[in-house]
Amino acid sequence: MIKVIFRMVGTVALITLISCGAEESSDSSSAEFKIQPGDVQKFSPTIEGRNTSFNVDFNSTNYNPTTSDDFAIIISNVNSTGNVGITFGTDPKTNRSFKVYIYYSGDMTSGNKSGTATVIENGVKYSGTFSNVNFTYSGPDANNCYTLSIGDITIESKTLHINSLVAYLIQ
């Protein structure tokens, strides 16, 4: 009888693991836009010397880095969806640094956009959706960089205010 109970508990646990794993894989769509530390490193030779930069305030903390480990990129066709992903941050080799991921349906034209935004600050992840936020693109410049002006985005009651952003277009 004890063996039967253990088998039933084991079967339920296995089914739960499989169903949770299936849910996770269905959530990994392009709407969950993120670039892992290794991904940015493979772009590093391409973005070095492009003069990408950002100056942002998140929850009253200013991030205005000036080191070679900082990055700001735009991907105009995330996972072949035609949608736009914008990411910038410090030190792509660690998840404990400051990083921002913005994703929206559409293209790189100026106007109001709706999508998702994620900020990682000191290893803590904040995520949320935004709607009708104004995006203005100008460029590209000689380095294939765009200057972006983006309205404030509220993420979990914290405000992401972008003072300036110059990002390199990957695709």
The reported pLDDT for the residue numbered 12 is 32
Q: What was the pLDDT predicted at 157?
A: 94
pLDDT at 78: 81
CA 109 to each of CA 76, 92, 113, 143: distance values in angstroms, whole numbers, following the listed order? 11, 27, 10, 19
Q: Are residues 46 and 69 in the same domain?
A: yes
158 and 83 both lie in a single domain: yes
Three-class DSSP category at 43:
helix
pLDDT at 96 (0 to 100):
75
62 and 96 in one domain?
yes
5 and 51 part of one domain: no
The whole-number pLDDT of residue 70 equals: 81
Do 96 and 161 reside in the same domain of the chain?
A: yes
pLDDT digits (tens, 9 = 90+) for 34-74: 554 445 545 555 567 778 899 999 999 999 987 777 889 99
Q: Do 123 and 111 reside in the same domain of the chain? A: yes
What parts of the chain have a pLDDT lower than 70?
1-47, 92
Report d(CA 139, CA 168) in Å as an integer: 10
* pTM of the predicted protein model: 0.74
Identify the domain containing residue 24 by its residue range: 1-29
Chain centroid to Cα 59, Å, comes to 17
pLDDT score, position 155? 95
Q: 18 with 43, same domain?
A: no
65 in the same domain as 7:
no
Taking the C-alpha atoms of residue 170 and residue 75, their distance in angstroms, rounded to an integer, is: 5
Query: For residues 101 and 24, what is the distance between their CA atoms, to the nearest angstrom?
Result: 19
- Same-domain pairing of 126 and 78: yes
Q: What domain count does the chain have?
A: 2
